[in-house]
Structures are given as structure tokens and as C-alpha cells.
Amino acid sequence: MAEVLVFVDHVDGAVRKPTLELLTLARRIGDPVAVALGNGAADTAAALAEHGAVKVLTHEAAEYADYLVVPKVDALQAAYDAVSPAAVLVPSSAEGKEIAARLALRIGSGIITDAVDLEAGDGGPVATQSVFAASYTTKSTISKGTPVITVKPNSAAVEPAAAAGAVEALNVSFSEQATGTKVTSRTARESTGRPDLTEAAIVVSGGRGVNGAENFSVIEALADSLGAAVGASRAAVDAGWYPHSNQVGQTGKSVSPQLYIASGISGAIQHRAGMQTSKTIVAINKDAEAPIFDLVDYGVVGDLFDVVPALTEEVKTRKG
């Protein structure tokens, strides 16, 4: 079977879930060959093998952390040259899309970004995109070169499938551009202990209706009772009530959880762009006319400061 390159998103060797989803999708079109770069690259091998990687190409160098994007493009291109794959799949993070785009240009290929599904077609992989704030679904193919496709988190259920996962060192020589943009300092984000927003099965979000940073504890309590991640609308973020890294929407994170609960959020088009593909949508809003109610599977018209704490109590009781 044809080989498919899969770019690995990992933190010091811990593989992030979107990569495991990619491996699942990659198996529909070929044999996944994973490319893991930077600190801890070789430590990714066991998890990748469990999810179908026939081979894991690794390379560690300080350049990956010290310079922006281009060293990773150089490495992915080296892997491409070594493998001659039938397709290249990259997780749809901001950085992932930039890496994929530059690779596509270098190898003379088209690129499809933010696919939400992938299947084998007669003329190569067919990618599904969810566009215009999820109001349209398109299917696209690549008409020139080797398909380069980035895939959004939560686009496939992770299915383990044991494979060899043989680790091989990748030979990389960096281009002149590799050291063009220096990372002069890096501040790691503090972990909240909650699930990652884009990976979480349940997301509980608050908006302007939460009315203050201190009140977000109401949203957090519900999230913790459900084991959920916390999201926020841009209005809440702009007001300084919650960090931007938790913003859901067009210019924040795009999430696609099993369950999305919006409290005090009106449902502006830019917010919907980031959550409309959630499987089940619930909203709590005191305005019965709020556009968010057009999307919901279940809505409660009411004051979030009554409804959310009551729900949290009920969840805790039921979970015992």
C-alpha cells in the first residue's frame, strides 16, 4: 500500500490527540509514516505504533525550538523526499497549517486546510471542509502534485491499530531560511489541569452574560463537574474576564466536542464559526430571542446564575 506522511504534534514526546486522529484517517488512504521532530521525538514512537504508524522518522535539533516554522518545513520536506508518499497530513493548528502550506508550495502541490473528514477517492484523497461558519459542507481534491491536507481536531474517533512503528533517524539539512525568525524567549502556558479545549469531549463556555472575571467560577464549577474544558466568547475575553487562549470562534479555537454548553452567549456568526459542528449543543440565555437558540438541541431561557449552579449541583448528585 502507498505510504502517507503524518506530521506529529507532540509536547516533549507526549503525542497530542489530533495526531492520533490523523493516523486513523491516514489508514483509510495508505500506510502511515509518522514524522516527529524536536525534543522527545523518539519518545513518541510507542504511541504512534499503537495507532498504526508503520515507521516513525525522528530528528532532534535545537533549531525546531529556537526558530519559527521553517526548520520544521525543511524536515518535513526531507521526509517527503525520503518516502515519496501518496499524501501528507498535518494537524490543523496555526503552526501546522503554515508548515503544510510552505511544504505544498515547495513540492509543487495544492493544499486543503481544515478538513473535517477524509476518504479515499479514485483520483486521490477527498477532503470534506465545513465552510462559511459551518453553513456549507464542501468536498475537494488536490489537482496538482501530492495532496497536502491539514485536518481539524475532533474530525475522527481515535482507533488503535498496532503496527511496527520502526524508528528511523531522519536526515535533515536546514535551508538558509531556517534561522530567519528567532524565538528570543518563550513563556509556557500554565496548565489548569482541565482538558485541552480543542481535544475535550465536553466544552462549557461563558460569554458577556457571565458579567465579570470572578463570576467565571460558576462556569468553571460546571465544567469541573462534567470533566469539561472551559471556553469563552470574544466579548468575555476582550473584557479581560478569561484568557484569549480559551476563546472559541473564528479568531479563537474551533471546537467540535460531543457536547457544547453556551451560557450568556448570544451566538454571533463569528462565535458560531468555532462551535457549530459540535455534536450536541446546549444554551442557557435569558433572552429567548438570542440567535444561539437556533442551533441548540436543548435550550434553557433563564438567568445563568440560577440555571448553571443548579445544573452543577444536579450533575454532582447524579455522579455521586
Residues in 34-73 that interact with another protein by CB under 8 A: 68-70, 73
Residues within window 193-212 making contact with ligand FAD, judged by CB under 6 A? 207-209
**DSSP string computed for 69-102:** SHHHHHHHHHHHHHH--SEEEEE-SHHHHHHHHH
- Name the minimum Å distance from CB 113 to ligand FAD: 5
CB 148 within 8 A of CB 88: yes
Distance between CA atoms of residues 248 and 245, nearest Å: 9
Contact map string, positions 269 to 288, toward ligand FAD, x by CB under 6 A: -xx--x---------xxxx-
Backbone angles phi, psi at 143, to 5 degrees: -100, -5
Q: Does 236 bind ligand FAD (CB under 6 A)?
A: yes
| Minimum distance from residue 102 beta carbon to ligand FAD (Å) | 12
Residue 177 engages another protein in binding (rule: CB under 8 A): yes
Contact residues for 320 (Cβ-Cβ < 8 A; gap 6+): none
DSSP state letter for 159? -
| Contacts to ligand FAD from residues 18-57, by CB under 6 A | none
Kindly list the distances between the CA atom of residue 40 and the CA atoms of 9, 164, 249, in Å, as whole numbers in the listed order: 11, 19, 32
Q: 141: which 3 cell numbers?
A: 481534491
Positions 128 through 187 that interact with ligand FAD (CB under 6 A): 131
One residue of 6, 10, 234, 311 binding ligand FAD per CB under 6 A: 234
Q: Which residue in this structure is represented by grid cell 461558519? A: 133
The answer to whether 19 contacts another protein (rule: CB under 8 A) is no
What are the two backbone dihedrals, phi and then psi, of residue 225, each rounded to the nearest 5 degrees? -65, -25
- Residue ranges in 97-116 that form contacts with ligand FAD under rule CB under 6 A: 111-113
Of the residues 47, 79, 235, 311, which one makes contact with another protein according to CB under 8 A? 311
Task: Please state, in angstroms and as integers, the Cα–Cα distance from residue 81 to each residue in 5, 17, 78, 172, following that order.
Answer: 11, 27, 5, 11
Site string for ligand FAD, 285-304 (x = CB under 6 A): xxx--x------------xx
| Position 112 contacts another protein (CB under 8 A) | yes
Q: Which residues of this chain interact with ligand FAD, rule CB under 6 A?
A: 111-113, 131, 207-209, 233-236, 247-252, 264-266, 268, 270-271, 274, 284-287, 290, 303-305
